[in-house]
Structure 1
Amino acid sequence: MHNTALQSWGDSFRAFVHPRVITMLFMGLSAGIPILLIFSTLSIWLREAGVERSTVTYFSWAALGYSFKFVWAPLIDRLPFPVLYGLLGRRRSWLIIAQTGIIGAILWMGFTDPAQNLTMMAFAAVALGFASATQDIVIDAYRIEAADADLQAMMSSAYIGGYRIGMIVAGAGALTIAGLFEAEGSYEPMAWTVAYGCMALAMGIGVITTLIIGEPTVTRTDSKYFHETSDYVRFLLMFALTVIAFIAANIYTANLTNPLKSGLIDAGMISELAGFIAGTLKLAISVAAAILTAWLTTKVGVTPTGMVQETYIAPVKDFIDRYGKAAIVVLTLIGVYRIADIVMGVMANVFYTDLGFSKEEIATVSKTFGLFMTIAGSFLGGLLSVRYGVVRILFLGALLSAITNILFAIMAHLGPNTMMFAGVIAADNLSGGLATAAFIAYLSGLTNISFTAMQYAIFSSIMTLFPKILAGFSGTVVDSVGYSWFFIGTAIIGIPVLFLVVLAGRMMQINADKQAEIETKT
């Protein structure tokens, strides 16, 4: 692992009140508000409006922008927004645009009655997902560019804490406001209009923060190709055509993948695996169609080859050039670091219910108490990362995440014991918050200032892809071996992560030493 010099406890605690750290607390709140307005809060509204349960679940697709934000992240990195760029700078101008889009989408949803126009609500939810994902791209880039690596862990902690507070505002806060304006058991669209209007007003915190803070001062490589307005228009046209090709391919390949899934199930394959194979094929065809479209538009001169090279290929090449052989190990670590948490987390609420806990107990212990434990864990992770170094706490977080999963296996044998439930939630959420804070700081340190948004967007997409795929089989595993062995299994699959943390740390240290030696000689 890195031979990181220890910081004093005084320096570590002083990082709590650094202006950039406080900024990230408010930015995190701004990022945490939209997500629940697409998921749980919206789901409750839709059910009250009489929307079918199967249709409600489709609305989760409105947040797909979070998984594919790396597609338009290069635009945020390279395209200065007209007029606002000169007034606010690169990052702040895009932040204002994204936050304005979020407020507009929230109001659009608030003034739409899903009982009367469900399609319009779907469009508004998609718009909110896109604008919110765009805000995440810019906040991540701003965080990395606004402070040195020594402060990244604490900034990550503040961001996580603010994000969780934002979720409380958009979750419990929005539901409470809606409840004040409607009678028990009745559906009043105006109650939800008021609730969503208040959430749009709460987003003003993010807007005010953006206007108050300063633009990060960074030395970055300017674009060689983006100069004229026509360059931007041509590039955006290529991007739009690529997105259309991806969506069209995704829709029409269903005629191929749906029969394939049915055939695999009829042949005896479990539905989860059949769905995964069919879904992977569908995604592969869609991605291939998008790449082919981008290539064709470049060939016919819609966009210069160099422009595409600089925007999409250069960030990937830069990462490989900087880390060499270590790049493979680092990307593997990113892909599996959260595997124990995510695979276990999919079954958590089902486990609590099956164990015999009531909805009220689950809401109080897991959602409310657990939320505060996550916030505490994130700040603890930031403090320890500043004191001992990010890689050491990265290792500790992975170790604790695996160990706490074993506590769930023990809980499975004790039945609905509330004290044990609270203790396990405290340990699990504290360790999860600690690990996440260190992990975000680690990812931030991997990026190059010239490609901040693109590289971090790729990392954040990779970190959940494989664990979420594996998590899709959680229910099948529990049916086969039971909860105890399932939780023990999730702890075991977290063990290789520890070796990857150590290996990645050593390889990156060797790489850093070589780079320093080269710079000394030159």
Structure 2
Amino acid sequence: MTWGQALKVYLKPRVLTMFFLGFSAGLPLLLVFSTMTAWLRDYGVSRTAIGFFAWVGITFSIKVLWAPVIDYLRLPGVTRWLGKRRSWMLVSQFGVALGLLGMGSLDPTMALTQVALLAVWVAFWSASQDVVIDAYRIESVDTDLQGAMAANYVFGYRVALLVAGAGALYIAEYANWSVSYMAMAGLMGIGVITTLLIAEPDHQSILDRAEHFQHEWVDRMLGSGEHGPLKEWFVKAVACPFIDFFQRNGRFALVLLLFIGIYRVSDIAMGVMANPFYLDLGFSKADIANIGKVFGFVCTILGSFLGGVLVVRYGIMRPLILGAAMVAATNLLFAQLALIGPDIKWLAIVISADNISAGISNAVFIAYLSSLTNQAYTATQYALFSSLMTLPGKFISGFSGIVVDAQGYAQFFIYVAILGTPAVLLAIFLWWRDSRKNANAEAAAS
């Protein structure tokens, strides 16, 4: 395949629609995080109370708990009209929009508890929307297009973050917070319209094949004969997705889960220290905004699109190695910047390298995770992977401040680069194993 043919993948209708679904997924996030905290502080809510609102984010980390419901449960009336994925997508989008409208109608100084409850409501439906959009993305196209789907999704998601961040603040400044949140609720209409226009993936044949597998495990776990509906649902919707993953991969499933957990450790572990690093080095907030946010946004999108093209052109495994190596290596540029000092040109170099490598690695890694799922259990299995991929990095990042205080920024970034080495080595091993497996299959076929 030529580079021109690889680039044309972005013109495919289902790839284009991922921009709008990515926008719908990204819009609620800041409205229950940083934008919401600005709103609360603007109304004089105490910093102690604002701090407790960080717990709203736990909702996104535990979405795997109700992903089996989204995978298995048919919504009365709506599923028959729209299908399995689009029905949950539409309900989630309306849930987010109604929650944002409710938040916009409240005064936090008079109804802080209600604001908190609505924030959890929005986060729940937003996380649910993430689960079902991920499932739709995986089921809609073949594996070789997953990189492009992920790139367009990231593009839409990032645009939504700008709208829900800077856009919401601008509206609040020139109108008020109520208008701002109601405007954001209206923008959820982009997702609703997209959901109504797209086609439902054809996954009935996959579900039919999975039905025998589910009945087999119901009998093995519960015994033959009559079972309670709740027990049978639990086996089919909760147990079977995990049994399927381990049955397909055997003991090697543990290696895959380890790889998922460590692939983004280097990227996530350094992220929390980025802005403090820029400020401590002597860059102004304007420098950080102009280069780190605006220029960095463009570089991330460029990297995401490049990652999608690389997957189409070379498959998943080789770009997966490249992404892991680039993310680890860019930390060495941060270490060099720490030694150089507040040089604006070096800041631009570091930001461009960091965001392009992050864009490539994210798009490719999303495509890789998508390839690991069984489309009979897409929502549950991908929710497991997406939760696991951030957990180790977030845990390690909690110690980043201790390392910086004790060793300094340069040494910290070198350590973080070293943390990325196991992911590179394991990616190489997975590529080698995949190549050998394909070669054996071709030899057997001939």
Q: Name the TM-score class by shorter chain.
A: over 0.9
Which residue number corresponds to residue 60 of structure 1? 54
Equivalent residue for 2:224? none
Matched, 1:26 2:20: yes
1:447 to 361, 368, 373: 373
> 1:210 matched to which residue of 2?
195
Indicate if the aligned counterparts of 1:76 and 1:453 stay in contact, CA closer than 8 A: yes
Residues 326 and 504, structure 1, Cα contact 8 Å, conserved in 2? no
Q: How far did residue 179 of structure 1 move?
A: 1.1
1:256 paired residue number: none
Partner of 1:496: 422
- Provide the C-alpha distance between the structure 1 equivalents of 2:441 and 2:111, rounded to a whole number of angstroms: 59
Checking the alignment, whether the CA contact within 8 Å between 1:326 and 1:507 is kept in structure 2 is: no
Residue 369 of structure 1 is aligned with which of 289, 295, 300?
295
Which residue is 1:50 aligned to? 44
Tell me if the contact between 2:97 and 2:188 (Cα under 8 Å) persists in the aligned partners: yes
Deviation at 1:194, TM superposition (A): 0.5
Contact kept in structure 1, 2:318 and 2:431, CA below 8 Å: no
The residue that corresponds to 2:186 in the other structure is 201
**1:483-522 residue CA offsets vs partner (Å, 9 max, x unmatched):** 100000100111111111022233345556778899x79x
**1:133 offset after TM fit, Å?**
0.2
For residues 147-226 of structure 1, the aligned pairs below 5 Å read 147-181=141-175, 191-218=176-203, 219-222=205-208
Name the CA distance, whole Å, in 1 between partners of 2:174 and 2:355: 31
Greater Cα offset, 212-221 or 323-332: 323-332
- Counterpart in the other structure of 1:353: 279
What are the equivalent positions in structure 2 for 1:248-327 lying under 5 Å apart? Answer: 303-327=229-253
Structure 1, gaps ≥5 residues long: 1-6, 182-190, 226-294, 296-300
Q: Which AA in structure 2 matches 1:192? A: W
Deviation at 1:57, TM superposition (A): 2.2
Do the aligned partners of 1:323 and 1:511 also contact (CA within 8 Å) in 2? no
Aligned-residue sequence identity (percent) comes to 48
8 A Cα contact 2:267 2:327, kept in partner: yes
CA contact (8 A) 2:264 2:393 kept: yes
Match of 1:270 in 2: none
1:35 is displaced (CA, Å) by 0.3
Deviations along 1:321-343, whole A, 9 cap, x unmatched?
11223322211110000011100
Which whole-Å CA distance do the structure 2 matches of 1:108 and 1:63 have between them? 19
**Residue identity opposite 1:199 in structure 2:** M
Cα RMSD (Å) of the superposition? 1.9
Q: Is the 8 A contact 1:12 1:386 kept in 2?
A: yes
Please say if 1:84 is aligned against 2:78: yes
Question: Partner residue of 2:407?
Answer: 481
Match of 1:100 among 94, 112, 118: 94
Q: Deviations over 1:443-475 (max 9, x none)?
A: 001100110000000000110011111111101
Determine if contact 2:145/2:311 at 8 Å carries over to the other structure: no
CA distance in 2, matches of 1:504, 1:350: 36
Q: Does the 8 Å CA contact 1:63/1:130 hold for their aligned counterparts?
A: no
Task: Give the direction of change, closer, same or farther, for the CA distance of 1:309–1:420 in structure 2 (3 Å limit).
Answer: same
How far did 1:426 drift?
0.9
2:70, 2:88 within 8 Å by CA — same for their partners in 1?
A: yes
1: CA distance, partners of 2:383 / 2:435: 24
Change (3 A) 1:220 1:163: same
The question of whether the paired residues in 2 share the 8 Å contact of 1:390 and 1:442 is answered with: yes
More deviation, 310-319/74-83: 310-319
- 1:91-147 per-residue CA deviation (whole Å, 9 max, x = no partner) reads 000000000000001111111111211111100100010000000000000000000
Q: Tell me the SS of whatever aligns to 1:429.
A: helix
The answer to whether 1:334 aligns with 2:260 is yes
Q: Who is 1:466 aligned against?
A: 392
Question: Normalized against structure 2, the TM-score is what?
Answer: 0.93
